[in-house]
Each structure stands twice: as C-alpha cells, then as structure tokens.
Amino acid sequence: MAGEVKVVDLVKRFGDVTAVDGINLNMPSGEFFSMLGPSGCGKTTTLRMIAGFEQPTEGQILLDGDDMAFTPPHKRNVNTVFQSYALFPHLSVYDNVAFGLKRQKRPKSEIRERVGEALELVQLRGLEKRKPAQMSGGQQQRVALARALVLKPAVLLLDEPLGALDAKLRKQLQIELKALQQQVGITFVYVTHDQEEALTMSDRIAVMSEGRVEQVGPPQEVYEEPTTTFVADFLGVSNLMTAQAHGGSNGRCRVTVGEFELYAAQGDTATTGDTKIVIRPERVHLEPHDSSGENRVPGMVERVVYLGNANQIITGLANGDKIQALVQNTGQELTYKQGDPVRVYMPADALRVLTDTGTAPIDENAVPGIPSPAAREPLAGEGSPNVSV
C-alpha cells in the first residue's frame, strides 16, 4: 500500500547546530501521524526533509521503500500544507488549486473536474474566482488543503496548518481535518506544538525534544504512560516529584519523596535509586486532614483556581513539592479553601515511575499547574517565517 514513510537515523545539522539528531520514525500508510514538540525540537526540519526542502546531513527518508534523499521536491509524491499557507497571491483560488495539475500537463477538462472536486471536499465551491487576499484565514487554509490534496499525493505533510487561526476555528478545523483524512485515506504527517491538536487528531504521536524522539505511541499511551520526564511534563499538566525508588514487588514500587513513603504501580516499578514520579492532576484526591491510609500525604491548600468546568487546587506538601489536583465542577461548593490542611491522596495505580530522570523543560514564568505556555510557538506572521525549527 502506498504512502508509507520511514525515517532512518535522520540527522540534520545547520552549521554547528544539530536540528535533528538521529531520529527513526515509521509512518504506515493511511496513518494520521503527528510530530509534537516545543519550538526548536526539530519537528519542522524533519517535515521539510520529507518534503525535500532540506537535504538530510545523514540518514535516509524512505517513501514506500525508495530512498528520497536525492529526489528534488518537485519530483516527490508528497505535498505540503504550509504554516503560512503560501497561496500564490497573484493567482485566483481556481488557479492556485490547478497549479499542480497544470505542471503535470493534465487535459483541461480533467483539471476543471479535479479542481471542482477538491474545492467541494473543502467546502469552497463557488469561490473559484477569489484571490487569496479576499478570503478569511480559515478559507485560505482550506484552499491550501485543496491545492495539496488535488494532486492525490501518497503523503500529505502539514506544518502547523492551524497555527494562525483563532481557537474556535481551530477546534472546528481539527474535527474537519481528521474527518478529511479518514475520507481520503492517505498518510498525514502533522507537525504541531499544540498537544491538544495532536491528542485529538492523531493515530500516533511522536513527542520530540531537542532533535530527538522522546516517545512514540497512540495519544492515550503517550498521555497515560509517559516514559520520560519531558513527555510527562509536555503533554498535559503533570505533578512531577523527585523521589528515591527502593525497588518493587507485585508490580508496585516503594518510593520515598522526602520523608513520605508512597507506592507506585505504574511505569518502571523495578527501578531503584534516584528517579522521578508523576501523577496527573485529575487523579489526585483531596481528603480531610485526619484521614489515613497508604499514599496519603499531609499538605495545605495554597491556592484555588476556578477554571469554569473544574477547580484547580494547588496544595503544598511539607517537603516543598506542590501538588495540583483537579476537582470537577459538579455544582457543589468546594470543601477546601486556601489555608486548609488536607490529605493528598495519590492512588498507587495513578503514580508512575519515570524511566529517565532528565530535567523537565524549564519554564520559570509558568504558574504551577496552569498549562505551560512554554510549548507555545509564535503564530504565523510573528517572527521570521524562514526560521525553521
């Protein structure tokens, strides 16, 4: 089946800077594959190498088994949706979409038919004569999609295609894009820094950091079972604690965090020594301060943040760690307020021992618990569009 992309030991250096540091990825045919990571993690550079705009320093890019390293971009059976859309401003919507077909010297009647179909697919029928400047951001995005899809590529590459749109439109297009991918059935390689986008649309996600792949897996797996500190911290909100592991029995690892003893039943439970443990805020329970039992740690409510659909409660533990709990808004009044002593219950089956003990991305400005803005990249139009990451 056509449309399988394999990336083998891929390296890209720009002078002294290593943008992509030996990555291996396998994107089977028809998969919605996302590369997720912060600015500068190498995801866009990888995509640009697949498209042919950059030459790999080392390694191979295989499309259906053929090495494409020496195939120029105009001869590759892949098409790109650019972050800035790059619609030709001097051409109408029709001519933009027909551009690729004209290069293939297709007969006029076929071009007309296929452009019509492509515009139908992205719901832009009737706007053929408009110039890109006369369209909204969302419409331009659809033209860019139609222009790439009309050529029926084996693989569609998307470089933060929703980055320049506002939040509501972005949500809507996420759903449409996923539906479109299932409809056309081709491989989508999607680059984004937005974890929500990656989680909602992808079949599999590669979380990248500093030119390396940290973890690859289905959305649920990378979210629920992060293997590295980076992934745990980058995807969603995590409570990370430095801990001492003392090995495990029965699939449970005994760890000490400061003076407290906890049991963790997830992750690398056989490990010993310095490690990190992580728990998602929605799995943390707050109980009255006089309750007892395993994995219950005394703390004090430091802050309550109202989020609308939930309340975020940040508690400080005696050793200085801050643990964030997410309490769904069920209409009942919160039991705890700032300054209240509580027991923080972290169930063993929600506590995960991480494999690596690397440092989490530094984000000094982030308020503890509020989704980290470190992952935000400038939108299209801000900063230089030529800086590839």
Residues that bind other proteins (CB under 8 A): 51-53, 72-75, 78-80, 82, 84, 86-90, 99-100, 103-104, 131, 133-134, 147-148, 151, 385-386
Among the listed residues 126, 139, 146, the one whose alpha carbon sits nearest the alpha carbon of residue 172: 139
**Least spacing, CB of residue 182 vs other proteins, in Å:** 23
The CA distance from 239 to 368, in Å, is: 9
Residues, the chain: 389
Cβ neighbors of 328 (< 8 A, separation 6 or more) are 309, 310
**H helices of the chain, where?**
43-51, 93-103, 108-121, 137-149, 167-184, 195-201, 219-224, 229-234
**Least spacing, CB of residue 139 vs other proteins, in Å:** 14
The CA distance from 337 to 122, in Å, is: 50
Q: Quote the DSSP letter at residue 126.
A: T
Cβ neighbors of 115 (< 8 A, separation 6 or more) are 94, 97, 98, 101, 128, 146, 150
In this complex, which beta carbon is closest to other proteins, that of residue 90 or of residue 168? 90
**Least spacing, CB of residue 105 vs other proteins, in Å:** 10
**Least spacing, CB of residue 381 vs other proteins, in Å:** 8
In this complex, which beta carbon is closest to other proteins, that of residue 10 or of residue 135? 135
Provide the b/e sequence for 102-118 (b: ≥16 CB within 10 Å): eeeeeeeeebeebbeeb
**Least spacing, CB of residue 166 vs other proteins, in Å:** 18
Burial class (CB in 10 A: 0-12, 13-18, 19+), 337: exposed
In this complex, which beta carbon is closest to other proteins, that of residue 72 or of residue 218? 72
Residues β-bridged to residue 33: 189, 204
In this complex, which beta carbon is closest to other proteins, that of residue 78 or of residue 243? 78
In this complex, which beta carbon is closest to other proteins, that of residue 146 or of residue 264? 146
Residues β-bridged to residue 32: 188
CB 280 within 8 A of CB 236: yes
Among the listed residues 356, 353, 347, 358, the one whose alpha carbon sits nearest the alpha carbon of residue 247: 353
Classify 49 in phi/psi space as left (phi over 0), alpha (psi -120 to 50) or beta: alpha
**Least spacing, CB of residue 88 vs other proteins, in Å:** 6
**Least spacing, CB of residue 68 vs other proteins, in Å:** 13
In this complex, which beta carbon is closest to other proteins, that of residue 82 or of residue 304? 82
Cβ neighbors of 307 (< 8 A, separation 6 or more) are 329
Count of helix runs (H) and strand runs (E) in the chain = 8, 21
In this complex, which beta carbon is closest to other proteins, that of residue 52 or of residue 248? 52
**Least spacing, CB of residue 45 vs other proteins, in Å:** 14
**Least spacing, CB of residue 250 vs other proteins, in Å:** 55
